Chain A
Amino acid sequence: KNQVEQSPQSLIILEGKNCTLQCNYTVSPFSNLRWYKQDTGRGPVSLTIMTFSENTKSNGRYTATLDADTKQSSLHITASQLSDSASYICVVSEKYGNKLVFGAGTILRVKS
């Protein structure tokens, strides 16, 4: 069964610090991998999307990496801000068909 596992489940960091969220997946073959940010009480919003041939993609202070060989991705947040407090969801798209496999998310809390 295709799965997406995220770690840690939750994380608390101080404002200004960096952090890295992990995503391991078994989806194969896959088309692309996305990271979404979901603020409390809101819908998920796309941060990055990477195809299997891409290793890294940045969106401001967010940098996603992908290792298709080990089936791992990470999301690095630089100089965290209070507004980064949210759930971060890793989503892997199967190559054939429209199915997306969602991770359960990592809840990040940035405190001052």
Chain B
Amino acid sequence: DAGITQSPRYKITETGRQVTLMCHQTWSHSYMFWYRQDLGHGLRLIYYSAAADITDKGEVPDGYVVSRSKTENFPLTLESATRSQTSVYFCASRGRNSGNTIYFGEGSWLTVV
């Protein structure tokens, strides 16, 4: 049971570069989410998707782009990375019938220098 996996787990990039964080889940969950976690803040929603080809903005979407061409994948792209995007990024998923439980990936640590 692979669950939900993120890659890369750790990434250092330079300001202005494009970075894509990958997220893959094996449960065929309808909903997928991207959060960022920063010290002193709770998890903040960047984007979410209710199904393939359906995405919507969360609380902090600026500077990020997502796509969902397949149910199992939900990549997050930073089009032009900035230092303020240094953070830990968590992908999560939830099925329509999973009792509202959200399952999180292990996180992707991104440092923008």
Interface set of A (CB-CB < 8 Å, partner B): 4, 31-32, 34, 41-46, 49, 89, 93, 98-105
Contacts and interface: CB of A to CB of B under 8 A. Distances in A.
Interface in B58-113: 90, 92, 99-107
| Majority SS at the chain A contact face | strand
Contacts of A49: 99-101
Given A44-B90, A99-B45, A104-B41, A32 B107 contact: no
Across the A-B interface, give the 3 residue pairs with the lowest CB-CB distance, nearest first.
Answer: A102-B42, A43-B104, A102-B43
A44 B42 CA distance: 12
B104 A45 contact: yes
B70 to A, nearest CB: 20
A39 B58 CA distance: 25
B90 A43 contact: yes
Contact of A93 (B50, B100, B103): B100
B34 interface: no
Nearest to A5: B42
Given A49-B99, A49-B100, A49-B101, A43 B106 contact: yes
Interface string B14-55: 000000000000000001000000001111110010100000
Contacts of A45: 104
A62 to B, nearest CB: 15
A102 B44 CA distance: 8
B46 to A, nearest CB: 13
A54 B99 CA distance: 15
A46 B102 contact: yes
A5 B84 CA distance: 24
B42 A103 contact: yes
B107 A42 contact: yes
A32 B100 contact: yes
Given A41-B107, A98-B31, A46 B101 contact: yes
B105 A43 contact: yes
A105 B42 CA distance: 7
Contacts of B103: 46
